[in-house]
Structure 1
């Protein structure tokens, strides 16, 4: 056949679909009673979605970008001093300036490597999701990198257990959800599962020890000079003549 019409052949007219409305994006289902926000506000960011060494992530953002409370809660720890030194690399100081918030969901959130801590942020202060906690920087052991936010999810523990606050739960799944608009996706269940598995106060197992410092040599002391001995002659009576 050459494709030409023959007597008795009919063709159906092309079907033209009616005009439709733009698709409506439905809000995600509510999966918890808590409400969350993405922890960096007003800036373009990127972050790792895989574990490198620790269960935390680095949120790359410009210096001075706002670090905000991801959920309603209470400020737990505030460190305004950048104590980290490469010569000692003490684990408790690696996050530089940082703020932790104990959320009303029972989860502890840490934002570290801050350039500054926001005025009025101190332990015991109640905060709402979205409140400014500090500004992104590169303090601590990030001083040779671009500015970023060290973001970690864990549970409250005494300060001497610093390796808990630095991250126990992989956070990027929750960051993805909060960024995409699912504001009720909570890390609480994941936190409780990890804590049940490892215990409330697990021992440190990764990047625990700092650098040992060599003892400082004692200054060389000049030996004390001995005082010259004074020889006192014995009193000898002179010989008497005629005896």
Structure 2
């Protein structure tokens, strides 16, 4: 190949490399556009009510399970344990705990250890907390309007990448069923509770309501 031909070939290669680089730059810019201001304002307001710093960065999208493995209740909630249907649920809300010293204020959803636990609603992960003598590995998820708090306890583990401040959708995996805390090793289950939140209340506060009618579509037991 002559010197002139080599020069032309070299220029063509340089041009191709520069063009490819410019295309990559344009692709990255156009695929990372900022979300609409209205959406940012809504999330910031909700995060502020939940005591979450909205400047903490964009959350990782949580893992999702196939729709067929989830049960959608008429209330709009998802039964928070994969593979569990409404007839499988038992109303344990008013049962006594601690030797009769307190009311359960939650329902226990029995399932094999390691069964996926999912978020019953859209929300923000407000607190990931380990309670050695109580709920063990727990997660608190507040609804986007700030009015409701969903509590998941006795987990075996968290879903990979789950963190405080993360926005999750209904059906996103939170963790797995376990026996952490004061759960019996012979009966792995999810302790699931819902709390009605007043303005300014934190994750350890709120007034409990019975999740059973919302998940099972039945009247609560007395």
Q: Aligned to 2:208, what secondary structure does the other structure show?
A: coil
Name the residue aligned to 1:51: 94
Q: Please name the residue that 2:149 is paired with.
A: 108
CA separation of 1:141 and 1:49: change in aligned 2, threshold 3 A = closer
Aligned-pair distance for 1:61?
0.9
2:202 equivalent to 1:158: yes
Distance of aligned partners of 1:76 and 1:48 in 2 relative to their CA distance in 1, 3 Å threshold: same
Residue 149 of structure 1 is matched in structure 2 by 190
CA contact (8 A) 1:48 1:59 kept: no
TM-score (norm 2): 0.53
Q: Which residue of 1 aligns with 2:216?
A: 176
Q: How far apart are 1:42 and its partner, in Å?
A: 2.6
Whole-angstrom distance in 2 between the partners of 1:50 and 1:100: 18
TM-score, with structure 1 as normaliser: 0.49
- Deviation of residue 103 (structure 1)? 1.3
Structure 1: gaps spanning 5 or more residues: 1-29, 85-93, 181-243
Deviation of 1:48 (Å): 2.7
Distance 2:154 2:105 in 1: 16
Higher Rg: 1
Residue 95 of structure 1 corresponds to 135
Alignment check: 8 A CA contact 1:46 1:61 kept: no
C-alpha distance in 2 between matches for 1:118 and 1:50: 26
Q: CA deviation at 1:50?
A: 4.7
Post-superposition Cα deviations, 1:123-145, rounded to whole Å, max 9, x if no partner, equal 10000100000000011111444
Aligned partners of 2:81 and 2:117 also within 8 Å: yes
What is the deviation of 1:66? 1.0
SS of the equivalent of 2:215 reads: helix
More helix by share: 2
Q: Aligned partners of 1:64 and 1:142: how far apart in 2?
A: 14
Alignment correspondent of 1:60: 110
1:126 corresponds to which of 164, 167, 178:
167
Superposition pairs of residues 1-243 of structure 1, within 5 angstroms: 35-43=76-84, 45-52=88-95, 53-79=103-129, 81=130, 83-84=132-133, 94-105=134-145, 106-156=147-197, 157-158=201-202, 162=204, 164=205, 168-177=208-217
List, as ranges, runs of 4+ consecutive aligned residues in structure 1 with deviation greater than 6 Å: none
| Alpha carbons 1:118, 1:133 under 8 Å: kept | yes
Paired residues of 1:47 and 1:60 also in contact (CA < 8 A): no
Between Structure 1 and Structure 2, how many residues are aligned? 132
Alpha-carbon spacing, 1:143–1:131, altered in 2? closer, same or farther (3 Å)? same
C-alpha spacing 1:168/1:74, structure 2 compared with 1 (3 Å): same
- CA displacement at 1:82 relative to structure 2: 5.7
Q: Which runs of 5+ in 2 are unaligned?
A: 1-73, 96-102
Which structure shows the bigger proportion of residues in strand conformation?
A: 2
